[in-house]
Chain A
């Protein structure tokens, strides 16, 4: 289990790093997809079946495709023009290190790490569904409303170009 975690963590980090460093934008997007998959595998090693499968379904099946299509709409995919790396890179690394350091110090100093871990609850899909439909039904409905509004907005935006063109 430990080596599995290490391998998956390495894969996640390496593919995320590659996604930032590679010149070709489509390669970057595919690397992001790899890191999504290895994150899902990490969830699976934690016995979180539902989250792992949903991660693949939503992130690889939808988000990665969205990223890829957005990239195809940009002009220069292959990155021949200029380097994607931000020029004064010491500045970038410095800011990154600062953020990472503050996060790590916050986590290590919190009471969370000193607490005894409770036994892992065996969360089945049924329990997830039941709590979504009872305790968390209001947030669920609000998210549903928000997504519907976003969908309608997208349809409206797409329709405007077609105005005066008769039936679409």
Chain B
């Protein structure tokens, strides 16, 4: 029963594909996978936007959207119609073709990157041998699209915003990729389904062997999610948009549905990178505790995705935006060294795996914690001007 429910969508696809003649089966299968990805993530986008507006409203002590439909639930539909029917204004000096291509080029790579994520048992659209590399390769082309948007608009603020966005993306791509290297090292595979398989089994018969339940995995996950926040231009790293100073950056000259596409691309990017974080550190579609295997695997994946998105919303509502110099310092002087040290942490965990004396696991945790915690403390104290352990002092603009 539970297997049937788990493999429901896989079997459904197989059934539909088998109706077609043999020559058509491959393209039809691809079309079904692509269509499913687009439909699922587009509706998830609508839900996320509503949840974000409601959640931010809650944090800021206001009701949020509550006029369209019961509790404002139909707000995404209204937003969609509004975006679709808005006037599409193209600046006279804009570079027509590039101006038109940029929004599509923002959407396309993120949609492609969904195709390698394992969203359930046997539910990877394209199971590539070098899936992780594919994910980062398509993600890298977003930078070019952002440049195209900023340059083709022929607007100082747009170009300025695009340069900021590109600088930020390049800076944070380094810690993002380096924090995943630790996982690749331990799992010994670049294939995302291989990495999920490496997290099978349970510690002590109950706790899943997710990578996040190891010292290097915990540190790696936090580093990864921080870099991912910056990579997807989310608050507190949303200074490429900086609506109070450079008025939405590279998006300034975009209106109507083109703007909606950029907006969608940003949310898709956030979901894709959360999906990657889930796959690498949170066990992908695997349940957290033994005895929960009866829950369909795709529910685990999308449940974890929902939790990640909720954390993103929470962080956005809580933290103030960084300054450009703080952003760069944080990337190069804090994130990059820590990700490099985390590689050492992963190696230490890997090579102490055969310790079997009494209290070996606490000893390994202590080793990992000192290996990562000491540089963390030293770096964070140095970076923010303080020296030594003690209460921090903050300086505010007066």
User: Could you tell me which A residues sit within 8 Å of B by CB distance?
Assistant: 24, 26-27, 30, 33, 37, 49-50, 53-54, 56-57, 60-62, 64-65, 68-69, 72, 124-126
Q: How far is the CA of A69 from the CA of B146 in the complex (A)?
A: 13
Cβ contact within 8 Å between B129 and A54:
no
CB neighbours (8 Å) of A30 from chain B are 98, 144, 148
Are A65 and B137 also in contact (CB < 8 A) when A26-B151, A60-B144 are? no
Cβ contact within 8 Å between B133 and A50:
yes
Cβ contact within 8 Å between A54 and B137:
yes
For residues 129 through 164 of chain B, which have their beta carbon under 8 Å from a beta carbon of chain A? 129-130, 133-134, 136-141, 143-144, 147-148, 151, 159, 163
CB neighbours (8 Å) of B95 from chain A are 24, 26
Cβ contact within 8 Å between A65 and B129:
no
A49 in complex: contacting residue of B129, B143, B144, B147, CB < 8 Å:
B129
Cβ contact within 8 Å between A49 and B128:
yes
Are A68 and B137 also in contact (CB < 8 A) when A49-B129, A53-B130 are? no
Q: How far is the CA of A168 from the CA of B129 in the complex (A)?
A: 44
B144 to chain A, nearest CB (A): 6
CB neighbours (8 Å) of A53 from chain B are 130, 133-134, 136-137
Cβ contact within 8 Å between A49 and B130:
yes
> Which chain A residue lies CB-closest to B134?
A53
A53 to chain B, nearest CB (A): 4
Q: How far is the CA of A57 from the CA of B151 in the complex (A)?
A: 22
Cβ contact within 8 Å between A64 and B144:
yes
Tell me whether chain B's interface is mostly helix, strand or loop, or mixed.
helix
Are A56 and B140 also in contact (CB < 8 A) when A30-B148, A65-B170, A125-B190 are? yes
User: Could you tell me which B residues sit within 8 Å of A by CB distance?
Assistant: 95, 98, 128-130, 133-134, 136-141, 143-144, 147-148, 151, 159, 163, 166, 170, 173, 188, 190
Cβ contact within 8 Å between B133 and A54:
yes
Cβ contact within 8 Å between A60 and B141:
yes
Are A56 and B128 also in contact (CB < 8 A) when A26-B151, A50-B133, A68-B147 are? no
Q: How far is the CA of A53 from the CA of B131 in the complex (A)?
A: 10
B166 in complex: contacting residue of A33, A54, A65, A126, CB < 8 Å:
A65
B333 to chain A, nearest CB (A): 12
> Which chain A residue lies CB-closest to B147?
A68
> Which chain B residue lies CB-closest to A65?
B143
Cβ contact within 8 Å between A61 and B128:
no
6 tightest A-B contacts by CB? A61-B140, A56-B137, A53-B137, A53-B133, A57-B137, A49-B130
Are A61 and B130 also in contact (CB < 8 A) when A30-B148, A33-B144 are? no
B82 to chain A, nearest CB (A): 32
A107 to chain B, nearest CB (A): 30
Chain B CB within 10 Å, residue with most, of A24, A33, A53, A64: A53
> Which chain A residue lies CB-closest to B332?
A155
B165 to chain A, nearest CB (A): 11
CB neighbours (8 Å) of B133 from chain A are 49-50, 53-54, 57, 125
A-B contact pairs, 20 of them (CB 8 A): A24-B95, A30-B98, A49-B130, A50-B130, A53-B133, A53-B134, A54-B133, A54-B137, A57-B140, A60-B137, A60-B140, A61-B139, A61-B140, A61-B141, A61-B144, A64-B144, A72-B151, A125-B129, A125-B130, A125-B190
Beyond A24-B95, A26-B151, 20 extra complex contacts between A and B, CB < 8 Å: A26-B98, A50-B130, A56-B137, A56-B138, A56-B141, A57-B137, A60-B144, A61-B140, A61-B173, A62-B140, A65-B144, A65-B166, A68-B144, A69-B163, A72-B159, A72-B163, A125-B129, A125-B130, A125-B133, A125-B190
Q: How far is the CA of A101 from the CA of B130 in the complex (A)?
A: 38
CB neighbours (8 Å) of B163 from chain A are 69, 72
Q: How far is the CA of A126 from the CA of B139 in the complex (A)?
A: 23
